[in-house]
Amino acid sequence: MKIVIDMNLSPQWVPILKSAGHEPIHWSQVGAANAPDREIMGWARTNNHVVFTHDLDFGAILAATDANSPSVFQIRSQDVSPKRLSALVLSSLKQFEERLNEGALVTVNEKQARVRLLPLRRQ
Protein backbone atom coordinates (compact mmCIF):
# COMPACT_ATOMS: atom_id res chain seq x y z
CA MET A 1 0.00 0.00 0.00
CA LYS A 2 1.26 3.48 -0.85
CA ILE A 3 1.16 5.73 2.20
CA VAL A 4 1.95 9.41 2.65
CA ILE A 5 2.80 10.26 6.26
CA ASP A 6 1.53 13.62 7.48
CA MET A 7 3.90 16.20 8.98
CA ASN A 8 2.42 15.64 12.44
CA LEU A 9 3.96 12.15 12.48
CA SER A 10 7.64 11.30 12.64
CA PRO A 11 9.66 10.32 9.56
CA GLN A 12 10.68 7.33 11.72
CA TRP A 13 7.46 5.72 10.49
CA VAL A 14 8.96 5.32 6.99
CA PRO A 15 11.30 2.36 7.71
CA ILE A 16 8.69 0.68 9.93
CA LEU A 17 6.02 0.79 7.24
CA LYS A 18 8.56 -0.17 4.56
CA SER A 19 9.64 -3.23 6.54
CA ALA A 20 6.00 -4.40 6.52
CA GLY A 21 5.86 -4.22 2.72
CA HIS A 22 4.24 -0.81 2.30
CA GLU A 23 5.47 2.06 0.13
CA PRO A 24 5.65 4.96 2.57
CA ILE A 25 6.83 8.51 2.01
CA HIS A 26 6.90 11.33 4.54
CA TRP A 27 5.20 14.52 3.37
CA SER A 28 8.45 16.44 4.01
CA GLN A 29 9.94 14.53 1.05
CA VAL A 30 7.29 15.71 -1.41
CA GLY A 31 5.81 18.98 -0.18
CA ALA A 32 6.19 22.05 1.98
CA ALA A 33 6.09 21.52 5.74
CA ASN A 34 3.40 24.19 6.04
CA ALA A 35 1.23 22.86 3.20
CA PRO A 36 -2.48 22.96 3.95
CA ASP A 37 -4.26 19.66 4.54
CA ARG A 38 -6.19 20.07 1.28
CA GLU A 39 -2.90 20.10 -0.64
CA ILE A 40 -1.81 16.86 1.03
CA MET A 41 -5.21 15.33 0.26
CA GLY A 42 -4.96 16.38 -3.38
CA TRP A 43 -1.46 14.95 -3.71
CA ALA A 44 -2.54 11.68 -2.08
CA ARG A 45 -5.54 11.39 -4.40
CA THR A 46 -3.50 12.11 -7.52
CA ASN A 47 -0.71 9.72 -6.51
CA ASN A 48 -2.97 6.97 -5.11
CA HIS A 49 -1.66 7.14 -1.52
CA VAL A 50 -3.39 6.61 1.80
CA VAL A 51 -2.93 9.56 4.19
CA PHE A 52 -1.50 8.47 7.56
CA THR A 53 -2.15 11.17 10.15
CA HIS A 54 -2.85 12.18 13.72
CA ASP A 55 -4.92 15.16 12.53
CA LEU A 56 -8.73 15.14 12.70
CA ASP A 57 -8.97 17.71 9.89
CA PHE A 58 -8.54 15.06 7.19
CA GLY A 59 -11.73 13.30 8.24
CA ALA A 60 -13.54 16.64 8.33
CA ILE A 61 -12.38 17.38 4.78
CA LEU A 62 -13.63 13.99 3.60
CA ALA A 63 -17.01 14.63 5.24
CA ALA A 64 -17.34 18.18 3.89
CA THR A 65 -16.47 17.22 0.32
CA ASP A 66 -18.21 13.82 0.01
CA ALA A 67 -14.92 12.61 -1.52
CA ASN A 68 -14.37 9.01 -2.61
CA SER A 69 -10.62 9.31 -2.07
CA PRO A 70 -8.02 9.39 -0.75
CA SER A 71 -8.34 6.96 2.12
CA VAL A 72 -7.22 8.27 5.50
CA PHE A 73 -5.70 6.22 8.31
CA GLN A 74 -5.99 8.25 11.50
CA ILE A 75 -4.19 7.34 14.71
CA ARG A 76 -5.72 8.73 17.90
CA SER A 77 -3.37 8.58 20.84
CA GLN A 78 -1.47 10.96 23.06
CA ASP A 79 1.80 9.18 22.27
CA VAL A 80 2.09 8.66 18.51
CA SER A 81 5.69 7.48 18.56
CA PRO A 82 6.56 4.54 16.33
CA LYS A 83 8.12 2.77 19.30
CA ARG A 84 4.80 2.80 21.15
CA LEU A 85 2.35 2.25 18.29
CA SER A 86 4.12 0.36 15.50
CA ALA A 87 2.54 -3.02 16.31
CA LEU A 88 -0.96 -1.48 16.50
CA VAL A 89 -0.52 0.50 13.28
CA LEU A 90 0.90 -2.42 11.31
CA SER A 91 -1.78 -4.86 12.45
CA SER A 92 -4.54 -2.30 11.73
CA LEU A 93 -3.18 -1.53 8.26
CA LYS A 94 -3.19 -5.24 7.51
CA GLN A 95 -6.67 -5.74 8.96
CA PHE A 96 -8.18 -2.83 7.01
CA GLU A 97 -6.09 -3.01 3.83
CA GLU A 98 -9.02 -3.99 1.62
CA ARG A 99 -11.19 -1.16 2.96
CA LEU A 100 -8.37 1.37 2.56
CA ASN A 101 -7.88 0.24 -1.04
CA GLU A 102 -11.61 0.75 -1.67
CA GLY A 103 -11.77 4.17 0.00
CA ALA A 104 -12.20 4.55 3.75
CA LEU A 105 -11.55 6.58 6.85
CA VAL A 106 -9.98 4.30 9.45
CA THR A 107 -9.57 5.64 12.98
CA VAL A 108 -7.51 3.59 15.42
CA ASN A 109 -6.61 3.93 19.08
CA GLU A 110 -5.33 1.51 21.71
CA LYS A 111 -8.85 0.27 22.51
CA GLN A 112 -10.76 0.18 19.23
CA ALA A 113 -10.83 0.79 15.51
CA ARG A 114 -13.56 2.38 13.44
CA VAL A 115 -13.96 2.12 9.69
CA ARG A 116 -16.19 4.33 7.56
CA LEU A 117 -16.40 3.79 3.83
CA LEU A 118 -16.10 6.76 1.50
CA PRO A 119 -17.88 8.90 0.67
CA LEU A 120 -18.79 9.77 4.24
CA ARG A 121 -22.47 10.37 4.72
CA ARG A 122 -23.73 12.69 7.42
CA GLN A 123 -25.53 10.65 10.03
- The enclosing domain of 29 has a CATH number of 3.40.50
Q: What is the pLDDT of residues 46-78, one digit of tens each?
A: 999 999 999 999 999 999 999 999 999 999 999
pLDDT at 123 over 70: no
**Residue 122 falls inside a structural domain:** no
Q: What is the pLDDT of residue 121?
A: 75
Rounded Cα distance between 49 and 56, Å, is 18
What is the C-alpha to C-alpha distance for residues 75 and 9, in angstroms, rounded to an integer?
Answer: 10
pLDDT for the residue 1? 98
Nearest to 117 by CA among 45, 69, 75: 69
Looking at this protein, which amino acid is placed at residue 104?
A
Handedness of CA 7, 12, 15, 17 (dihedral sign): negative
Domain around 59: 2-117
Mean predicted confidence (pLDDT) in 22-45: 97
Domain count, the chain: 1
pLDDT at 122: 62
pTM, full prediction: 0.96
- In a domain, residue 111? The reply is yes
